[in-house]
């Protein structure tokens, strides 16, 4: 208990060092509240660009976005990695290193694109290994997860380090006695995977996106690490504070405070952050075994200009119909603030119904049912 108090005091002192003005500006979210809805138009605060990806036998469809950089987009399809030119959408490289060998992965779960080092860093939580390839797919090095850890969220931090989240939290939550000093976020070396720094976040009890009910265990994925310019946001649902890990000195600074809810318990994760808006999502820890549905979520926004929380609906003005934009799942919060994949068949249908405008309408008119997704890139005006 004394150590918990020390951690809490350290967080308070650290926030105090940032000046009283910043403490006053610290965002506070009451997870018990239901907030009024507000519609926002994406193009009012974001620039939007569409990149139609090349479609061919080599660069196949149904790919999902894994990483975006200044030069390249990385997609995954059938466990292969596809590199595209970010400006033109032209296919550049197909990387297929699936297997059981020392230089291979079984699942490309997390991808970190390091364009400065000309590297793709692939995290495989199944075999608890991280493989590193150059952008032509040549093997460079690999390393196992640190002893006793299983990393399921791996995010690039800077030229030297990655930040990882340990899946062992799910197993720890099932124990009768909880070690509330256990750390689950780590700074590790890109070169050998060694743990460089533990990133402690104070909490009293574990609160994770897992429900055990009627003999069933249901788990939802909640983002635990989120980029924020050169820094990272550290999201530990067991804590009442979301922290910012600074690139300058690797210190944790309070970013947002949560007032927790109990009926139902609500989890929270951060999405796109702009100079005015902080988009976030709350997830209820409820599950209906009869319907197989659970973890309902709400998308909200903190409007820093008026200091209010609102239920957010962000609409894309390039659709005449009310097409909502996901500001949470693929937030980047760098030079590119957010990305989203628009599936070809849905764009074709919308175009046939006269629901598209401008550049998007032009792109959709050239698609067919087998086309790759069109990637929407968003950055702050």
pLDDT tens string 109-148: 999 999 999 999 999 999 999 999 999 999 999 999 999 9
pLDDT for residue 16 is more than 70: no
In a domain, 140, yes or no: yes
How confident is the model at residue 79, as a pLDDT? 79
Cis peptide before 264 (omega within 30 of 0): yes
Angle at 12 between CA 11 and CA 18, to 5 degrees: 95
In a domain, 7, yes or no: no
In a domain, 10, yes or no: no
How confident is the model at residue 233, as a pLDDT? 97
How confident is the model at residue 11, as a pLDDT? 42
SS (H, E, C) 195-244: EEEECCCCCCCCCCCEEEECCEEEECCCCCEEEECCEEEECCCCCCEEEE
pLDDT tens digits, 147-189: 999 999 999 999 999 999 999 998 888 787 777 789 999 999 9
Q: Under a CB-based contact definition with an 8 Å cutoff, are residues 333 and 362 in contact? A: no
In a domain, 1, yes or no: no
Q: Under a CB-based contact definition with an 8 Å cutoff, are residues 252 and 241 in contact? A: no
Residues of the chain above pLDDT 90, percent: 77
| CATH code, domain with 82 | 2.120.10
In a domain, 8, yes or no: no
Lowest mean pLDDT among 19-28, 53-62, 347-356: 19-28
DSSP secondary-structure letter at 180?
T
Number of structural domains (the chain) is: 1
pLDDT for residue 9 is more than 70: no
Lowest mean pLDDT among 67-71, 163-167, 173-177, 307-311: 173-177
In a domain, 4, yes or no: no
CB atoms under 10 Å from CB of 47, counted, come to: 12
Confidence of residue 15 (pLDDT cuts 50, 70, 90): very low
* 85-101 mean pLDDT: 94
Give me the count of residues in the chain: 381
How confident is the model at residue 24, as a pLDDT? 43
Q: Under a CB-based contact definition with an 8 Å cutoff, are residues 115 and 71 in contact? A: yes
How confident is the model at residue 20, as a pLDDT? 35
pLDDT tens digits, 51-61: 999 998 888 77
In a domain, 103, yes or no: yes
Q: What values do phi and psi take at 276, rounded to 5?
A: -105, -40
Output the average pLDDT for the chain: 90
Owner of token pair 């998007």: 360
Rg (CA), the chain: 21
Lowest mean pLDDT among 52-56, 62-66, 192-196, 231-235: 62-66
Q: Which helix (H) or strand (E) holds 15?
A: helix 2-16
How confident is the model at residue 204, as a pLDDT? 85
* 191-207 mean pLDDT: 93
**What range does the domain containing 229 cover?**
27-380
How confident is the model at residue 2, as a pLDDT? 35
Q: Under a CB-based contact definition with an 8 Å cutoff, are residues 269 and 280 in contact? A: yes
pLDDT tens digits, 26-49: 899 999 999 999 999 999 999 999
Confidence of residue 63 (pLDDT cuts 50, 70, 90): confident
Q: Under a CB-based contact definition with an 8 Å cutoff, are residues 326 and 340 in contact? A: yes
Confidence of residue 21 (pLDDT cuts 50, 70, 90): very low
In a domain, 344, yes or no: yes
**Alpha helix segments (H runs only) across 2-133:** 2-16, 20-25, 42-45
CA 99 from centre of chain = 27
């Amino acid at each position: 208990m004394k150590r918990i108090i020390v951690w809490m005091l350290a967080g308070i002192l650290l926030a105090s060092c940032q000046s009283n003005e910043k403490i006053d500006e610290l965002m506070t979210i009451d997870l018990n509240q239901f907030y009024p809805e507000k519609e926002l138009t994406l193009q009012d605060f974001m620039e939007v660009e569409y990149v139609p990806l090349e479609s061919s036998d080599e660069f196949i469809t149904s790919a999902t976005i894994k990483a975006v950089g200044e030069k390249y987009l990385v997609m995954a399809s059938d466990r292969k990695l596809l590199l595209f030119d970010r400006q033109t959408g032209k296919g550049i490289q197909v990387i297929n290193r699936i297997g059981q060998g020392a230089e291979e992965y079984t699942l490309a779960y997390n991808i970190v694109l390091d364009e400065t080092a000309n590297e793709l860093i692939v995290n495989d939580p199944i075999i608890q290994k991280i493989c590193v390839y150059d952008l032509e797919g040549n093997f460079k090095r690999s390393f196992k997860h640190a002893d006793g850890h299983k990393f399921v969220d791996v995010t690039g931090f800077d030229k030297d380090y990655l930040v990882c989240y340990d899946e062992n939290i799910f197993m720890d939550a099932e124990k009768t006695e909880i070690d509330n000093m256990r750390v689950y976020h780590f700074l590790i070396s890109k070169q050998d995977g060694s743990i460089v720094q533990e990133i402690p976040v104070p909490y009293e009890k574990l609160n994770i996106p897992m429900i055990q009910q009627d003999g069933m265990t249901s788990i939802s994925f909640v983002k635990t690490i989120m980029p924020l310019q050169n820094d990272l946001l550290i999201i530990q649902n067991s804590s009442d504070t979301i922290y910012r890990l600074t690139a300058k000195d690797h210190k944790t600074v309070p970013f947002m405070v949560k007032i927790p809810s109990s009926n139902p318990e609500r989890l929270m994760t951060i999405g796109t952050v702009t100079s005015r808006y902080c988009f976030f999502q709350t997830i209820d820890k409820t599950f209906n075994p009869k319907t197989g549905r659970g973890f309902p979520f709400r998308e909200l926004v903190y409007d820093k200009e008026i200091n209010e929380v609102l239920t957010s609906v962000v609409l894309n003005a390039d659709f005449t119909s009310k097409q909502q934009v996901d500001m949470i799942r693929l937030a980047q919060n760098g030079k590119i603030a957010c990305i989203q994949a628009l599936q070809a068949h849905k764009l074709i249908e919308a175009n046939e119904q006269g629901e598209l405008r401008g550049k998007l309408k032009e792109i959709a008119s050239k698609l067919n049912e087998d086309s790759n997704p069109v990637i929407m890139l968003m950055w702050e005006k």
